[in-house]
Amino acid sequence: MIYEDSKFRKMVMMRERLDGEFVLDAHTHIGERSLIYHIPDSSAADLVCEMDRIGVDKAITFSFAGITSDFVFGNDICASAVNAYPDRFIGFALVNPHYHTEIQKELERCREMGLRGIKLIADYQRYPVEGPGLFPAYEYAHENSWMILSHNWGPPAFLDKLATTFSNACFIIGHYPGPADIYSEVIRKHDNVYQCTCAALNFGDIEALVDSTPSDKIVFGSDMPDLPLMFSLAPILYARISDDIKRAIIGLNAKAMIERWPGK
Amino acid sequence: MEDLRFFDAHCYVGRYKTFRAGSFYTTEDLLDQMAYYGISEALVTHAMSREHHPIDGNAAVMEEIKKSPNLHAAWAFLPAASGEMSSPQELIPQMISQQVKAVKLFYGSYTFAISDWCIGEVLEVLEEHRVPVFLDPDRELDTWDADRFDWDAIDSLCRSHPALPVILSEARFRSSNRILYQLLSKHANLHIELSGYWAHHAVEFIVREFGARRLIFGTRMPVRDPACAIGQVAYADISEKDKKLVAGDNLRRLLAEVKQ
């Protein structure tokens, strides 16, 4: 294929909405305020407007507040967004392993509020990625066929062990790990491991990812409103890969993933 | 849809230290990428200007820009006292006479301060000629470092040189936007190059609060994917007029305002 002829490249060059395509953003945050920086225009309504403006149908979302502060407070914000826009947001509960005795109870509360997956970000919570405090979350996901997106899964052998032991759960690698792509073997080995494109922002990253990883296991994630939505989406639309693969990455793979792990 | 005429303020040619397969380093490849991504012009620095020495890099970039009228050179400078470069009073007019109208201060790579006691002689001459100065605090071209600016030094620099167009350019602005907004509110000569400013609605907020003239499009090719910055600007929720300013016309105006 001549990549200059890509429908998606032409759409972004013409600054068009992605009409007629199913787009699902598998990595977004929710909540208007953050310790880390000022985030303008970031209410749930603002984010839905941004998705509409660009042509994003749905987004998996989880709270900002729970990353650095009170995860219960953050999960309530997430549930509020999901309940306000049930057709647009798929909410994930965020937990803190320092409160490991509360995790299962909090996940059950979140399930009742309409959330259907888990976000982990132990690095930011100053907790070891392989630590025991996260296992209640893995167990809950296994029992309820939930998805878990982690900022960092640690060594590939650890993710391999989790995907084997908690085989009813789906494990999403939250960020592109770089051209060495340390997880590619684990992704190939397990049906329940997916790779998010989030932070694949160096020259040639998307092409390298498609070379190393089965393209049906790659899902688009923007990190909005940490990163700008089109900052993360445009590299896929411009990438020198086929339009069929682009279509799968920006939405169809995540759609299939969510249908398989709908969450009880 | 009108062409935004992207003018990339931040890209490199020449072999760089951490080259990865799938990327590029030649000027011919840069021109091909500019065509693929719809970038009209580029302000180019030679990788040696930040990873080896300005004298060799600045000379090398002059050869490279001969390959296309759409390429414009930016030179790197060092503090005057080492005597490694000709005096700023002599060198800067020579530079401008060769149509080089932008300067990059890689003060993280070359380990110098951006205070007047260190780089003041250079800044004074650049200000006299209205040459836009890009301040780059990163030690490496290919880095994930963030928030490395010395903000007190930038405040002093903007205050001491009010006619100098100052452009902040770093690998990643992350936790510093609260400081950045405070400085933008105080200094009309302060601008931001966008290749490292990855923040949701940062373009929209800065345009709304401080004006579109403060933002300069840049990609950091060949390290970063240019689609990131293109997507951020092309789809920004701002007026078409402001979008054109950010995409390229602000940089064109700054270069046009350089005095001989």
Q: How far apart are CA A21 and CA A8, in angstroms?
A: 10
- Residue with more model confidence, A29 or B144: A29
- Look at B177 and A37 and tell me if their CB atoms are within 8 Å: yes
Instruction: Identify the residue among B225, B230, B237 best suited for mutation to test binding to A, counting A beta carbons within 10 A and taking the highest.
Output: B225
* Residue showing tokens 């700054």: B254
Tokens of A86: 């049930």
pTM of the predicted model as reported, rounded to 2 decimal places: 0.97
Q: How far apart are CA B103 and CA B101, in angstroms?
A: 7
pLDDT the model gives residue B1: 76
Q: What CATH number is given for B6-256 in this structure? A: 3.20.20.140
* Pairing assessment for the beta strands B75-76 and B71-73 based on DSSP bridges: unpaired
With beta carbons less than 8 A apart as the criterion, state whether B24 and B222 touch: yes
Residue type at position A180? A
C-alpha B95, offset from chain centre: 17
Sorting pLDDT into bands at 50, 70 and 90, what band is A159?
very high
Quick: pLDDT tens for A14-40.
999 999 999 999 999 999 999 999 999
Shortest Cα–Cα distance, B54 to chain A (Å)? 25
The dihedral of CA A245, A250, A255, A258: what is its sign? positive
- Per the prediction, chain B carries an average pLDDT of 97
Q: How far apart are CA B105 and CA B102, in angstroms?
A: 10
With beta carbons less than 8 A apart as the criterion, state whether A92 and A123 touch: no
The dihedral of CA A7, A11, A12, A13: what is its sign? positive
| Beta bridge mates, B168 | B135, B192
- Look at A230 and B38 and tell me if their CB atoms are within 8 Å: no
* Residue showing tokens 């990873």: B51
Neighbours of B96 (CB within 10 A): 17
Quick: pLDDT tens for B32-68.
999 999 999 999 999 999 999 999 999 999 999 999 9
Interchain CB contact of B26 with A (< 8 Å): no
* Domain range list for chain B: 6-256
Q: Tell me the domains of chain A and their CATH numbers.
A: 3-13+21-260 (3.20.20.140)
ipTM for this prediction: 0.96
Q: Provide the edge-to-edge strand list for the sheet that holds A93-94.
A: A93-94, A117-120, A147-150, A170-173, A193-196, A218-219
With beta carbons less than 8 A apart as the criterion, state whether A197 and A174 touch: no
Quick: pLDDT tens for B156-215.
999 999 999 999 999 999 999 999 999 999 999 999 999 999 999 999 999 999 999 999
Q: What is the largest CA-CA distance in chain A?
A: 55
Residues 6+ away with beta carbon under 8 Å from B124: B88, B161
Residues 6+ away with beta carbon under 8 Å from B149: B135, B137, B168, B170, B176
pLDDT the model gives residue A180: 74
Q: Which of B1, B24, B200 sits opposite A227 (nearest CB)?
A: B200
- DSSP string computed for A72-136: HHHHHHHHHHHHHSTTTEEE-EE--GGGGGGHHHHHHHHHHHT--EEEE-TTTTT--TT-GGGHH
pLDDT the model gives residue A241: 98
Size of chain B in residues:
260
Q: How far apart are CA B260 and CA B256, in angstroms?
A: 10
